[in-house]
Amino acid sequence: MGSTQDELSRPGSPGPRILVVDGEPVAQGLATEALADQGFAVEAVPDGLTALERVAADPPALLLLDVLMPGLSGLEVLRKLKGDPKTQPIPVILVTSKDAPADLVAGLEAGADDYLTKPVNPAELLARVRAHLRTRELMLQLEKDRQDMAAVLEISRAVSSTLKSHEIFAILLDRTARILEACRCSLVLIGGADDTAYVVASQDDPNLRNLRISLRKYPEIRMAVAKRRRVVVDNIQEDPLLAEVREHLRGARFVSLLVLPIVLREHAVGTLVVRTNRATPGFTEREVRLCELVADIAAGALQNAHLFESLELANVNLERLALLDDLTGAFNRRYFFRRLEEEFHRARRYKFPLACIFLDIDRFKPVNDRYGHLVGDRILTEVAEVIRASIRRTDILARYGGEEFAILLPMTSREGAVVEGERILRAVRGHAFAADVGPVRITISLGVSAFPGAGISSIHDLIARADDALYQAKAEGRDRLVASAT
């Protein structure tokens, strides 16, 4: 963000907005012209009542206020502005034709920040306006710094009040998301394997714990950990860092991305990941500094709670086993139904779309009979890997049973699910699955259902429609996708 001084030094550039309040047309015109020539956005009004209405509707950066006006005088307007906490910080320069000391003292006591006498000298006007805007900018920055420090202090105190890891994470992520108006704020810890990490908590999903992810799909996290420095992505659709995963980011509900490494004993053990979808993309230096402080607090909290050491130990492994299918690494059926209930409730409440894909490996039994169960298990694992590489980060892949998989697609319409299903279909069809005798070709059949849809009012309806569509795909010859009727 450029400074006010920089803006003022470029005539013709869009500068701060100034409200000129003067009942004399000539004086009003001269002041307006002098300011506009230097790039200020100037609005002029002829009386005090109109000035108060305009300030209430759209507060300016500074007021140039004439003392003698019809109706409300400049001093009366000044007292109203300075008596209101919302408008009190706005700098006001009084313009007066009276230069007696008593008149000037009356204006300053009423709350004026400065004064000019008529006729106004343009050079003096510009110098005083710039000086007060610089002062206001510094005051605003100090207030932001004060707010940031108060937020950091609040986080530190809250974190120090508990050693329960997930209470700590909830506090850290909730406060950070609120301060930055983030749509998602997550804590990711690096696992033992080179390309494995765990989303241990996310402010937008209180039930999410220790979700295993592959870092191959997160180049921004890989870079932040490898370089031990922040990664700022202003626009995920344009930044070259994300080129390798651009396809998976299509339709993402965020625009900007900030990743801060969490460093313990000189090693990056995880990251704080902030995603925003604000009108102005990117992050200010102030916001980045604040998040760096939060990342430092997170590192200390992790150390105190001994969470990092426990991630690779039995407790987390047991928790992972409760969520994941042992063979394929996909989620298990129990976790799928838990998430399905949550996502369906959210979709129905907020009128969001939700899609479901059932898929089954075609003629899998003959493959098992011919090559043996070890090859069959290997094929199941590879099918899961191919599917994971073809779906979005927000989708939920589960092994439903045997050679059947299910995918839950939040915020996805029937049409969007068909596009994703066709992509999976092509990926599996084109993949050479390893076997002792050489590569084996595998095909799959898919059924798609979506909410809202005809006859779908519960999770059981959503599953039944996807299952029916899958059987129809099988009946029509396999190696295809069928979507339930809308």
Q: pLDDT tens digits, residue range 432-459?
A: 987 766 788 999 999 999 999 988 999 9
For 288, other C-beta atoms within 10 Å of its C-beta total 16
Q: Which of 67-76, 150-159, 310-319, 469-478 is predicted with the least confidence, judged by mean pLDDT?
A: 310-319
Tokens of 212: 């295993």
Question: Is 11's pLDDT higher than 50?
Answer: no
Domain 324-483 fold is Alpha-Beta Plaits (3.30.70)
Q: Both tokens of residue 64?
A: 């140039």
Q: What is the largest CA-CA distance in the chain?
A: 107
Structural domain spans, the chain: 4-139, 162-316, 324-483
Q: At what angle do helices 122-160 and 165-180 cross, to 10 degrees?
A: 170
Q: Are 323 and 272 in contact (CB under 8 A)?
A: no
pLDDT of residue 193: 60
CATH topology classification for 4-139:
Rossmann fold (3.40.50)
Q: Answer yes or no: is pLDDT of 32 > 60.
A: yes
- How confident is the model at residue 91, as a pLDDT? 93
Q: Encode pLDDT of 350-406 as tens digits.
A: 888 999 999 999 999 998 888 888 889 999 999 999 999 999 888 999 999 999 999
- Between CA 445 and CA 422 the distance in angstroms is 10
Q: Does residue 306 register a pLDDT over 80?
A: no
pLDDT of amino acid 202: 92
Contact 20, 60 (CB under 8 A): no
Q: Tell me, yes or no, if the pTM score tops 0.75.
A: no
Q: What 3-state class would DSSP assign to 245?
A: helix
3 state SS of 358: strand
Structure confidence at residue 305 (pLDDT): 58
Q: What is the CATH number of domain 162-316?
A: 3.30.450.40
More confident residue, 456 or 4: 456
- Interval 177-227: pLDDT, tens: 888 889 999 999 887 666 888 998 899 888 888 888 989 899 999 999 999
Q: Per-residue DSSP letters for 84-141?
A: STTTTTS-EEEEES---HHHHHHHHHTT-SEEEESSPPHHHHHHHHHHHHHHHHHHHH
Percent of the chain with pLDDT over 70: 88
Q: What is the residue-wise DSSP string for 405-458?
A: EEEEEET--HHHHHHHHHHHHHHHHT-EE--TTS-EE--EEEEEEEES-TT--S
Q: Which pLDDT does position 320 carry in this prediction?
A: 54
Read off the tokens for 312.
Answer: 């690779």
Q: Please report the pLDDT score of residue 309 as a whole number.
A: 45
Per 3-state DSSP, what percentage of the chain is helix, strand, and coil (rounded to 5)? 50, 20, 30
**Coil/strand/helix, residue 24:** coil
Residue 69: pLDDT band (50, 70, 90) is: confident
